[in-house]
Structure 1
Amino acid sequence: MASEGTLQRGSISAALAVFLGLLNVLNTGNCDEQVPLLLWTSEGISLPTQTPPTAGHIVGQQQLASYLETALNVGPRNVVLFLQDKMSIEDFTMYGGAFGNKQDSVYPNLEGALVSSSSPLVLPAVSWPASNAVIGQLQDQLETSPLYMDPETLSQLRLNASSPALLVFRLPYGIGADLMSAKEVLSGNDEVIGQVLSIMKSQSVPYTAIYTALRPSREAASLSMEAGLGGGRSLLQSRGGYRERERERERQRRIKEKAGIYAPVEFKEGEETCILLWAKGLSVKILRSGRWEEHDLTPSTFGEGVSPKLHGSSCDKTKAKLVLNYENVLGHRSFKLIFAMSQRHYKVSARRWFTLDAVELEYDGTKATFNGSRNIYAPAEYSYRCESVTSFRWPLLVPRSSKDPANQWRVSFEDFQIQGFNVTGSEFSYASDCAGFFSPGIWMGLMTSLLMVLVLTYGLHMIMQLRTMDRFDDPKGPAISVPQTE
């Protein structure tokens, strides 16, 4: 039963039925490099039976795309994607009541949905790069853009069974100082799943639901500690020694570094690339009712399988404009992030420079403009790179005027790099970094050294002003009388 990774609806308890298929991946001994994926349909909708992977098999990107294509070709094309930040098989074994302890389960809504579905699909081990690209795969197969939502927004949305929709619900995951916080977060995520499924049921719209994560959740060492302190789960994790924990941390660090590597946004004019953009994070905020609402544009811009819409972009020898088109950003159906660049020859430096003249936010007919030409520039043959480009903290981008709508917005680009001219191939040229030559530490060292030099100079000057006495008192002779006038 467990080796087939399927769910049986019989005398077996619901909790055991849900997670029995997940447990087979524990035999691989390397389960923290994969994430599970669960797929089911609304009640009364059947899918063709798909052969689950064998025990220990890791589902790659192509195989996952095949599973999704088979499900969407027959099943409902209104897809509800519950995308958790992190998740591993241990989250189910530790908190899912996998051994019949149903009262300890934090997944009652998830279990109920899987049991009520006539054709659930459980993939215990999906490579995390494949799960990271699941949004792009669904977007290609449904031919629609993802809508990032929450239960409150979904209750106001009216879906149509004949029109495909990709609804994405981002679920958090975190382990803080409180070792029980992971259980509480997962329980809260299950409540969100229950609310969403209840709203979908009330609208009587058939749907296909998917629950997965972007990457594995935690290190084996932290899982072992949490299992030991949580009670009743210590047998699920092995307590390695210090060296094993250090090797695990190093491996997780390399995985995290690798996860942040993806191709830049590339705009081509004809067959030649003329604009490149890369960032570790792109986010925008808007001020509403006295508080800032944030939206992360990174998942819709970068990543494997993600193809941002660039219509409206252009480039020539003196001007370049990169337009990133989005939908449903902070309540705006149409949203554009525009980078306007230009290059010209400067006689003083006797060379050509390019500047990021403006960063524009265009939404529902309104345009907010941030000027960047004073701070963001580089030689025309180079690319420009900066660790942080923001409009609010040590700003490099400033609103065009005091009345511009940009005053209600904040933009933040993390580990930002852009090149709009003289692009060769699909790689950035040498980067001109925004960091100045004199860092705060260098300035402090220079000021301290200058102060010490001044003190030393003053001391030497005082010593050089000392005069040697030209008259000396002879103890055997009369006392010397020195007139006060001298």
Structure 2
Amino acid sequence: MWTSEGVSLPPRSPPVAGHIIGQQQLSSYLETALDTGPRNVLLFLQDKMSIEDFTVYGGAFGNKQDTVFPNLEGALKASSSPLVLPAVSWPASNAVIGQLQDQLETSPLYMDPETLSQLRLNASSPALLVFRMPYTVGADLMSVKELLSGNDEVIGQVLSIMRTQSIPYTAIYTGLRPSREGVSLSVEDSQGGGRSLLQYRGGYRDRGRDRERQRKVKDMAGIYSPVEFKEGENTCILLWAKGLSVGILRSGRWEEHDLTPSTFGEGVSPRLSGSSCDKSKARLVLNYENVLGHRSFKLIFAMSQRHYTVSARRWFTLDGVELEYDGTKATFNGSRNVYAPAEYSYRCESVSSFRWPQLVPRSSKDPANQWRVSFEDFQIQGFNVSGSEFSYASDCAGFFSPGIWMGLMTSLLMVLVLTYGLHMIMQLHTMDRFDDPKGPAISVPQTE
């Protein structure tokens, strides 16, 4: 995090070596910066990021001369109050948009340099400008290096535009997920000891601190509890997802909003007012505020279960995903694609209303045609919940994967070739008559 030239923030003590910044501590850093610094915030949000990206590829935190982050490095050096946090738990960084939105009391605007050049900002009114940046997974070193270098060029273009408009700003560069897995931090309970990082004050010498350390490891691993709705003392609906997002089409462009930080994570308890469940119907209502310009916003999952005579068993279906905002309701139908046995939960790697849609608008006139929803690594159960854990999951993945289809097609081609070869061999016949050696010989007259 850094500010524009000529703007300084109160000095902040850096975290001790090996300390992982949690959501509450990160929120205090952001609150201090926005209370005294510019309230025009530039959020450069990368899909994945780790401190090793900068040390490996010669970034702002390494000693390599061949840096791929010249713009970022120059901005940090020019700022009078830069802040570098090497270790931040990913639920905390994932919740940055929600925290900034609450502190600035404004909705995020997803931008690119071309759009920013046409926008006129006001230094007196807060603005949250989000620039999404990709990060390849499983690619070679050069492709990742080139991609990070391209992200740095985007940062340079944005900062250049801000300088031309003479608008002071606070810039933040972070990621939604870690790009590299951290070192295992297992704790040995015997003797209350275990390994601790060098220069870490105090270490972990009692079980209370051991539990705290395990909690941090859990945060780093990206594990959090599902959304749980109870009717009385019994849990009747469970929902979990790695990512929840909604988008709206405005002026020919899609504006996205990530609902994950407001739904899941440590210390996050979404409001479920309006939810209900019984033996035949279940309704989970997630209440949000300030989503894509709508102060009141609801994401609703409507489910039902009934007995089907053909299969002689009960099934539950996700009848619809509803968006309620400012007195308007947009409804996506999911009953044809999202279903599972009533005693199971439903799980799918991706459930969305675009690309390969499992959710479709109810009609051509439904407001849902102006919206799109996307759920990543999605799991839901609305009936027969036992305790606070999902039942056996009915996965949406088909039996015939692309690899299986390729194997079947190759095998079929080989069978066809073999069949054709056998057919050709069977068409070969031996001669049924031979020349008589005792008969007259064949004579061929010769002409001169």
CA apart distance, 1:185: 1.6
- Note if 1:433 corresponds to 2:394: yes
- Note if 1:151 corresponds to 2:113: yes
- Note if 1:76 corresponds to 2:38: yes
Residue type matched to 1:430 in 2?
S
What secondary structure sits across from 1:174 in the alignment? coil
**For the residues of structure 2 that align with 1:152 and 1:267, how far apart are their CA atoms?**
44
- 2:199 aligns with none
What secondary structure sits across from 1:180 in the alignment? helix
Q: Which has the higher helix share?
A: 1
**For the residues of structure 2 that align with 1:285 and 1:133, how far apart are their CA atoms?**
18
Partners of 2:248 and 2:372 within 8 A in 1? yes
- 1:356 aligns with 318
- 2:239 aligns with 277
Partners of 2:44 and 2:132 within 8 A in 1? yes
What secondary structure sits across from 1:418 in the alignment? strand
What secondary structure sits across from 1:121 in the alignment? coil
Residue type matched to 1:118 in 2?
S
- 2:73 aligns with 111
CA apart distance, 1:361: 4.4
Residue 186 and residue 390 in structure 1: after superposition, are their counterparts in 2 closer, same or farther (change >3 A)?
A: closer
- 2:189 aligns with none
- Note if 1:322 corresponds to 2:314: no
- 2:158 aligns with 196
Residue type matched to 1:340 in 2?
A
Residue 264 and residue 217 in structure 1: after superposition, are their counterparts in 2 closer, same or farther (change >3 A)?
A: same
Q: Which moved more, 1:181-190 or 1:349-358?
A: 349-358
**For the residues of structure 1 that align with 2:159 and 2:87, how far apart are their CA atoms?**
25
- 1:304 aligns with 265
- 1:457 aligns with none
- Note if 1:43 corresponds to 2:9: no
What secondary structure sits across from 2:84 in the alignment? strand
Pairing partner for 2:58 from 76, 83, 95: 95
Partners of 2:2 and 2:81 within 8 A in 1? yes
Partners of 1:419 and 1:428 within 8 A in 2? no
CA apart distance, 1:293: 5.5
- 1:121 aligns with 83
Partners of 2:43 and 2:171 within 8 A in 1? yes
Pairing partner for 1:57 from 9, 12, 18: 18
**Number of corresponding residues:** 368
CA apart distance, 1:200: 3.4
CA apart distance, 1:115: 2.6
The share of aligned pairs that are identical, in percent, is 72
Partners of 1:335 and 1:362 within 8 A in 2? yes
Residue 284 and residue 213 in structure 1: after superposition, are their counterparts in 2 closer, same or farther (change >3 A)?
A: closer
CA apart distance, 1:105: 3.0
- Note if 1:264 corresponds to 2:223: no
What secondary structure sits across from 2:141 in the alignment? coil
Partners of 2:245 and 2:260 within 8 A in 1? no
CA apart distance, 1:275: 3.9
Gaps of 5+ in 1: 1-38, 221-254, 449-486
- Note if 1:183 corresponds to 2:145: yes
Partners of 1:285 and 1:292 within 8 A in 2? no
CA RMSD, Structure 1 to Structure 2 (Å)? 4.8
**For the residues of structure 2 that align with 1:157 and 1:309, how far apart are their CA atoms?**
34
Residue 402 and residue 81 in structure 1: after superposition, are their counterparts in 2 closer, same or farther (change >3 A)?
A: closer
Q: Deviations over 1:209-247 (max 9, x none)?
A: 222233443589xxxxxxxxxxxxxxxxxxxxxxxxxxx
Partners of 1:147 and 1:327 within 8 A in 2? no
Partners of 1:267 and 1:276 within 8 A in 2? yes
Give the structure-2-normalised TM-score.
Answer: 0.62
CA apart distance, 1:341: 2.6
CA apart distance, 1:192: 1.6
- 1:419 aligns with 381
Q: Deviations over 1:20-41 (max 9, x none)?
A: xxxxxxxxxxxxxxxxxxx211
Residue type matched to 1:261 in 2?
I
**For the residues of structure 2 that align with 1:87 and 1:71, how far apart are their CA atoms?**
22
Q: Which moved more, 1:191-200 or 1:168-177?
A: 168-177
Residue type matched to 1:106 in 2?
V
Partners of 1:300 and 1:306 within 8 A in 2? no
CA apart distance, 1:295: 4.4
Pairing partner for 2:300 from 311, 316, 338: 338
What secondary structure sits across from 2:155 in the alignment? helix
CA apart distance, 1:262: 2.4
What secondary structure sits across from 2:85 in the alignment? strand
Partners of 1:345 and 1:352 within 8 A in 2? yes
Residue type matched to 1:92 in 2?
F
CA apart distance, 1:432: 5.2
- Note if 1:209 corresponds to 2:174: no
- 2:443 aligns with none
- 1:168 aligns with 130
Residue type matched to 1:304 in 2?
G
Residue 159 and residue 121 in structure 1: after superposition, are their counterparts in 2 closer, same or farther (change >3 A)?
A: same
CA apart distance, 1:301: 5.2
Residue type matched to 1:45 in 2?
V
Partners of 2:43 and 2:129 within 8 A in 1? yes
Residue 379 and residue 156 in structure 1: after superposition, are their counterparts in 2 closer, same or farther (change >3 A)?
A: same
CA apart distance, 1:47: 1.2
Partners of 1:175 and 1:181 within 8 A in 2? no
**For the residues of structure 1 that align with 2:246 and 2:102, how far apart are their CA atoms?**
26
Residue 176 and residue 275 in structure 1: after superposition, are their counterparts in 2 closer, same or farther (change >3 A)?
A: closer
Residue 270 and residue 67 in structure 1: after superposition, are their counterparts in 2 closer, same or farther (change >3 A)?
A: farther
Residue type matched to 2:43 in 1?
L
What secondary structure sits across from 1:122 in the alignment? coil
CA apart distance, 1:268: 6.2
